Amino acid sequence: MVHKFDVVIVGAGGAGLRAALEASESANVAVISKLYPVRSHTGAAQGGIGAALGNHEQDRWEWHMYDTVKGSDYLGDQDAIEILCKEAVDAILEMEHFGLPFSRTEDGKIAQRQFGGHTSNYGGKAVRRACYSADRTGHMILHTLYEKCMERHVRFYNEFHVADVIIEDNVCRGVAALEIKTGEIHIFQAKAVLFATGGYGRAFKITSNAHAYTGDGMAIVFRRGIPLEDMEFVQFHPTGLWRLGILITEGARGEGGILRNKDGERFMERYAPSIKDLAPRDLVSRAIYDELQAGRGIDGKDYVHLDLTHLDPGQLEEKLPDVLFFARTYLAVDPLAEPIPVQPTCHYAMGGIPTNVDGQVVADFRNTPVDGLYAAGEVACVSVHGANRLGTNSLLDLVVFGRRAGNHMARFANSTDFARLPETPVQSLRERIRQIKESTGNENPLDIRTELRNNMMDLVSVYRSGETLTKMKDILTDLKDRYQNISIMDKGNIFNTDVLDAIELGYLLDFSSAIVDSALAREESRGAHFRDDFQNRDDENWLKHTLAYLRDDGTVELDYKPVSITQFEPKERKY
């Protein structure tokens, strides 16, 4: 079946829904999601969304910009970061006007809390910049945007699994999707297509990310010749619940929580003397790994403690109710009475599909746009996060660049005609699904998935080296070979999640190659990418973005492009 829309949005999280609202003001829009929209992972974000509202104390967007640039270890593009921080204030107020139920200050304004790396006056004391709704900020953003889309009667295709993008002659013409309920393949022809499919944490053993976070959008465009930018930068959030990886918001430290090792020592005082527990995530995650390495994990195990016991119980119940609930439910730990066992958890992809500040996908080092192809949110790399994202900037990224992409798509769609579809637009997808169903190989997809996730965690996480990355590269080659010999049990058409799992496993393997090859080439340490064998930042050789291309023979080819530096010259990053 062929559907025709001016604008097709793939993914119904914060970026997709914000774009849908914007684009639907003047264009005919469809949103396609492999889930129901409110299941999207934006809903799991907890602590806050950053904007220099200054509701508690003086703040300025320029300070927010400085913090973001410094947090990115100077790899973020400063022209884009300026837009992010400047438009933040308006974007947040607009969310409030849409109905978002923010927590409030005594005088009825949007409440704000401290977060990692947010300072006043260019690196001074911690500032309250994270606008929040208890520890459910992402949930409120997701629901508010979905509600507005309902009011606007935006057309949704729920539980449609987009599995291919149709690009010819540098023009995007639509996407192909599997209707999960029937197994039927649909073509969505469009003038503009937005990928807003989120990240890829499920490539790692310990992750805060949903099962649905399998890097679909990245892998789909990667296979069609679009590069992936800065994939070596993978954020590990310092405080995931031990063994499970479930997020414990940085807002817990923003409210006064303290990290302690087995001696009860507040070890962050040694690593970031000035802002301590509120240092950016890359630093804190490395500090935790160092403590574990030095034998100062709790009970000799691979976790440390997040201590909230000194904080007012009433305030905790009010400001961090979900965090308390998670610790109680999953670890039988009551954070009011005892510290929470935490370990770094794979949390966020700084890299992704390269875009300009209007969400247009740019496919080479000259930033040449692909007509009609857009990306926004975690799947995209604008780049506003550079080598390390600051907490609260991901939710902000969704609404600021979702809005900009939606706006640009509508204008583009209104100024152009539908491009012709190729004669057999879904043949390769049909073939891929047939192969997966008919293959009788002796490999179990679970084994491949498990080996991938365990090894990515061991070899490509907080610390890497030429040795670990080379090893992972070899493992990936082997896993990809074995992937050709999988077999699955469900051969049916209706709600065949066995097939979907196998398709997603193929994505995990492909974009993992981009992560590993990009990381192996980058012989320096910057932000979340730390090489044991190259421990310093090397601006002379590496102040540049990586572009990874998938070649027809399955190998990855790398190219580079310059970083936009407008206001803040790179300097040593200290906290």
**Binding residues for other proteins (CB under 8 A):** 35-36, 38-41, 43-44, 93, 96-99, 101-110, 133, 136, 139-140, 143-144, 147-148, 150-151, 158, 181, 210-212, 244, 246, 322, 325-326, 329-330, 444-446, 488-490, 492-498, 501
463 DSSP assignment: S
CB of 490 to other proteins, least distance (A): 4
Q: Which residues pair with 195 in a beta bridge?
A: 10, 375
> Residue by residue, what is the 3-state secondary structure of 88-156?
HHHHHHHHHHHCCCCCECCCCCECEEEEEEEECCCCCCEEEEEECCCCCHHHHHHHHHHHHHHHCCCEE
523 DSSP assignment: -
- Is residue 561 a contact partner of residue 365, using CB atoms and an 8 Å limit? yes
Classify the phi-psi angles of 554: left when phi > 0, otherwise alpha if psi is within -120 to 50, otherwise beta: left
> Which residue, 442 or 541, is less far from other proteins as judged by CB?
442
CB of 99 to other proteins, least distance (A): 3
Q: Which of 18, 281, 389, 531 is catalytic?
A: 281
Nearest-10 crossing angle of helices 61-71, 78-98: 120
> Which residue, 348 or 412, is less far from other proteins as judged by CB?
348
Query: Helix, strand or coil for residue 36?
Result: coil
- Is residue 5 a contact partner of residue 156, using CB atoms and an 8 Å limit? no
> Which residue, 139 or 173, is less far from other proteins as judged by CB?
139
CA distance 403 to 249: 26
CB of 454 to other proteins, least distance (A): 15
> Which residue, 116 or 240, is less far from other proteins as judged by CB?
240
CB of 347 to other proteins, least distance (A): 13
- For 354, the token pair is 């390269």
CA distance 575 to 71: 10
CB of 71 to other proteins, least distance (A): 26
> Residue by residue, what is the 3-state secondary structure of 351-395?
CEEEECCCCEEECCCCCCEEEEEEECHHHEECCCCCCCCCCCHHH
> Which residue, 40 or 119, is less far from other proteins as judged by CB?
40
CB of 303 to other proteins, least distance (A): 15
> Which residue, 55 or 546, is less far from other proteins as judged by CB?
55
Q: Phi/psi at 176 (nearest 5 deg)?
A: -110, 135
Nearest-10 crossing angle of helices 137-151, 78-98: 70
CA distance 417 to 105: 49
CA distance 169 to 404: 25
CB of 509 to other proteins, least distance (A): 17
> Which residue, 146 or 412, is less far from other proteins as judged by CB?
146
Q: Phi/psi at 66 (nearest 5 deg)?
A: -60, -45
Residue 526 is among the residues annotated as catalytic for this protein: no
The residues carrying an active-site annotation are 281
